[in-house]
Amino acid sequence: MKFSTKTILATILLAGTASVSDLFAFQPARHTPTVRHNVPRDSIILSDPAVLTDTVSQTYYMTGTGGMVWKSKDLDFWDGPFAVAQPDSTSWMGPHPQIWAAEIHEIDGKYYYFATFTNDKIIIETNQEGEIPRRASHILVSDRPDGPYRPVSSHDYLPEDRPTLDGTFWEENNKRYMIFCGEWLHNQNGTMEAIEVSQDLSHAVGEPKLLFQASDSPWSREKRNGEVTFNRVTDGPWLFKTATGRLGMLWTSWVFGDYTMGVAYSESDSIDGPWIQDPEPVTPANYGHGMIFKDLRGRYLLSAHSHSIVNGRYVRRPVFWEVDLSGDKLKLIRKLDIQ
């Protein structure tokens, strides 16, 4: 979840190819960020941090909300931010979309940038939550991990008549998928869904498939109409396999006022599920929107952001844990401090 109408509402209510894309008109940078060097990780403000380990350059690339990238050699000290996202300004996204929850995936020798774009000037529905802007995930591509990233194609991947977000990549049985959230603002019960995408990641194939709903969670909670019930938010899917082949999914919601991450496991070890929710969250309160990567030492690490309120505003910073995937379930080993 990001700094937006979505965040405010949740808190109040819940307390084909690069060469083809060169033909498009791209979003100019809204500003040129001031690049800083050797910035301690705990001094970086960033929601939804996602890390790519590039073994060729022996460099870590961290992105997230905002369309920027940070670079590091050791995960502790970072250079950045560098502006890298160049969406098509002539598309529905417009010239200055909000950019949320970006991830970089290395696929077939290229680097793919999955991110959520919002155009507040296009209202797709009006309901009890107010005016809902157009929001959806799109895929950009680059030959380099540090970009620039431009659209794979002009095709939309997700439905245009409801808000969706937090698209991530998954591949199984020689098929490729975008796993994404249906936003709770649409129907008061957020979803996790999957849609198949083409092998070149240029377009969707078929229709979205429901994996589970926010109401399936035994641990996320809010007080609504005087009663304690499930929390409506689904955020930040990330799929992973344990050493035993078990398929899991990290995802985030709220426990009253605490942003919190849980995990679900597929009984079939495929995205078809059924998905069974762990009864308790996987991280402490006020950490969320996680993903897993392998560092240059071969350790599996969980990246997430801390969530706090300082002087009346949200502050989110990247946090890493070492995790154990050797058994049937993900286990946190320790939080990584800056060395």
Q: What is the pLDDT along the chain (339 residues), one digit of tens a residue?
A: 454 444 444 443 444 333 223 323 333 444 678 999 999 999 999 999 999 999 999 999 999 999 999 999 999 999 999 999 999 999 999 999 999 999 999 999 999 999 999 999 999 999 999 999 999 999 999 999 999 999 999 999 999 999 999 999 999 999 999 999 999 999 999 999 999 999 999 999 999 999 999 999 999 999 999 999 999 999 999 999 999 999 999 999 999 999 999 999 999 999 999 999 999 999 999 999 999 999 999 999 999 999 998 888 889 999 999 999 999 999 999 999 998
Q: Report pTM.
A: 0.91
294-302: Cβ within 8 A, 24+ apart: 294/53, 295/53, 295/60, 295/75, 296/53, 296/55, 296/58, 296/60, 300/324, 300/325, 301/51, 301/75, 301/336, 302/250, 302/330, 302/332
How far is residue 220's CA from residue 258's CA, in Å, rounded to a whole number?
Answer: 9
The full DSSP string for 94-124 is: -SS-EEEEEEEEEETTEEEEEEEEEEEEEEE
- Answer for the pair 75, 336: CB distance below 8 angstroms, yes or no: yes
Please list, in sequence order, all residues whose beta carbon lies within 8 angstroms of the beta carbon of residue 205, skipping any fewer than 6 positions away: 195, 196, 197, 198
For residue 9, count CB atoms less than 10 angstroms from its CB and return exposed for 0-12, middle for 13-18, buried for 19 or more.
middle
* Number of domains into which the chain is organized: 1
Nearest partner of 48 among 325, 317, 329, judged by Cα: 317
DSSP-derived 3-state class of residue 166: strand
How far is residue 75's CA from residue 336's CA, in Å, rounded to a whole number?
Answer: 10
Alpha-carbon radius of gyration of the chain: 19
For the four alpha carbons of 171, 172, 175 and 178, in that order, the dihedral sign comes to negative
How far is residue 220's CA from residue 217's CA, in Å, rounded to a whole number?
Answer: 6
Written as six digits, the tokens of 16 are 């084909």
- Answer for the pair 329, 242: CB distance below 8 angstroms, yes or no: yes
pLDDT for res 177: 98
User: Residue written as tokens 């995205």?
Assistant: 271
CATH at 284: 2.115.10.20
Please list, in sequence order, all residues whose beta carbon lies within 8 angstroms of the beta carbon of residue 92, skipping any fewer than 6 positions away: 119, 122, 134, 156, 160
User: Residue written as tokens 């991530």?
Assistant: 168
pLDDT for res 68: 97
pLDDT for res 56: 94
pLDDT for res 339: 86
- Answer for the pair 62, 78: CB distance below 8 angstroms, yes or no: yes
Q: Which residue range(s) make up the domain with 20?
A: 5-335
DSSP-derived 3-state class of residue 21: helix
DSSP-derived 3-state class of residue 186: helix
CA distances from 62 to 26, 71, 190 (A): 22, 6, 27
Preceding amide of 81 cis, omega within 30: yes
Q: How far is Cα of residue 265 from the mean position of the Cα atoms in its chain?
A: 18
121-124: Cβ within 8 A, 24+ apart: 121/94, 122/92, 122/94, 124/160, 124/161, 124/162, 124/163
How far is residue 90's CA from residue 96's CA, in Å, rounded to a whole number?
Answer: 11
